[in-house]
Amino acid sequence: MTPPPPTPVPTATAQVTIADEGVRLRRWTRTLFGLVWLVPGALAGGVVWLSARGDGVALPLGRAVLWQVACWLPWALWSQGILTLVDRVPLDSRRIGRWLATHVLACAITVTASLLLVAWLDWQFAPWAVGLERYAQALRQSAPRHLEFALMMYWALLGAAYMVEYVRRYRERDRAAAALEEQLSRQQLEALRMQLNPHFLFNALNSVTELMEEDVRRAQRALIAVSDLLRLSLKSAGRSTIPLWQEIELVELYLQVARVRYGEGLVIDINVDPAAVDVEVPSFVLQPLIENALKHGLSPGRFGQEVLVQARRVGPMLELLVSDNGRGLNGRVTDSGSFLAAQPSVDGLGIGLTNTRTRLSMLYGDRYAFRMSNAGNGGCLVEIRIPTQT
């Protein structure tokens, strides 16, 4: 029995770096500078053929095109040399003399070689060269006509090469700056996210400490819930956003800790739109809102206390609502994004809410909305709206 063929191992897609983009642009530039001369050569051949035909000179079309393409094609070689000089002799104000001397010498060599070659081609193909016995005669007639063109062509090519080089450098700097900004943003977002973990852990451990003297078993259950929550949060480490369903799992674990402290009188209601469960949200975006409701609006041990968590899609936006029936904001209202408030203020916000607003701003710019207000039942209402697609 023959063994089954081995399963192919998938290879990772190579990531295109900024340096790779620069090399690719250089290759395209050299290829373009090498092939573009076929176009003016063919056009010039057609013009020469029509001109000769108008003058009554017998010049086959193929011979005319071959002649002119051969005159233009050497510039494919000269242009490669110019591109090499642009790479190796940078335009630097501190060494402008060296740069100028280099290109003056290169221009003299290029123009001389071009004139010698074009004169020989004219001697072989040009109707006016018929009867010339020596190449020197053709050179004396051809060189004055092509000298000015060759000089202009060299410096025009040099300018085009520097234009492409500056475009390449600009793109590299732009991409490098964008990559650096993205990296800094990720690091700052991760730092803000990691700031929530010790903040939450500190508050949770305080709750467990209070329970240790009252009910050891409940304190043990609270520690297990804290452990599960931290373990789950580690799975999303390094990610600025997670699916909403995973955020709800974090919230439910946090509420297991909260119920230990606030008792059976605390009622938590979580309503999630099925169409929104896979929408990406900032990790730990709901936990600070619920913690704020418990800490500043409700009191441990009281009955009839409620916290309502809602998540639903509203057009292209995801709306997150956390409300309670506690003490409210005592006149303090804070907002950002597209919501407006009568008395905007950021005074009194704790680490969790300040952290949340900062992360929303970094992730969504001006496309998010955040508002805290007094709910109709006397408690606090926190509203967040974020785009469902970043």
Mean pLDDT computed over 190-218: 65
**Cα–Cα distance measured from residue 175 to residue 349, given in angstroms and rounded to the nearest whole number:** 37
Q: Where in the chain is the domain with CATH 3.30.565.10?
A: 214-387
Range with top average pLDDT, 31-40, 109-118, 196-205, 256-265: 109-118
Please give the mean pLDDT across all residues of the chain.
Answer: 77
**Cα–Cα distance measured from residue 248 to residue 272, given in angstroms and rounded to the nearest whole number:** 9
What pLDDT shows up at residue 17? 54
**Cα–Cα distance measured from residue 40 to residue 50, given in angstroms and rounded to the nearest whole number:** 15
What's the DSSP call for residue 286? S
Q: Counting Cβ atoms within 10 Å, is residue 283 exposed (0-12), middle (13-18) or buried (19+)?
A: buried
Residue 24 has pLDDT above 50, yes or no: yes
**Cα–Cα distance measured from residue 193 to residue 199, given in angstroms and rounded to the nearest whole number:** 10
**Cα–Cα distance measured from residue 97 to residue 103, given in angstroms and rounded to the nearest whole number:** 10
Per DSSP, which regions of the chain are E strands? 241-243, 266-272, 280-282, 305-314, 317-324, 334-337, 369-374, 380-387
What pLDDT shows up at residue 343? 34
What's the DSSP call for residue 284? T
The residue type at 56: G
Q: Which of 110-114, 288-292, 333-337, 371-375 is predicted with the least confidence, judged by mean pLDDT?
A: 333-337
Q: Which of 183-192, 202-211, 296-305 is predicted with the least confidence, judged by mean pLDDT?
A: 183-192
What's the DSSP call for residue 276? G
Percent of the chain exceeding pLDDT 90 equals 14
- Helix ranges, 55-134 (H): 61-72, 74-88, 96-125
The CATH architecture annotation of domain 214-387 reads 2-Layer Sandwich (3.30)
What pLDDT shows up at residue 339? 38
Q: Which among 37, 14, 39, 38 is positioned nearest to 24, based on CA atoms?
A: 14
What pLDDT shows up at residue 34? 84
What pLDDT shows up at residue 181? 60
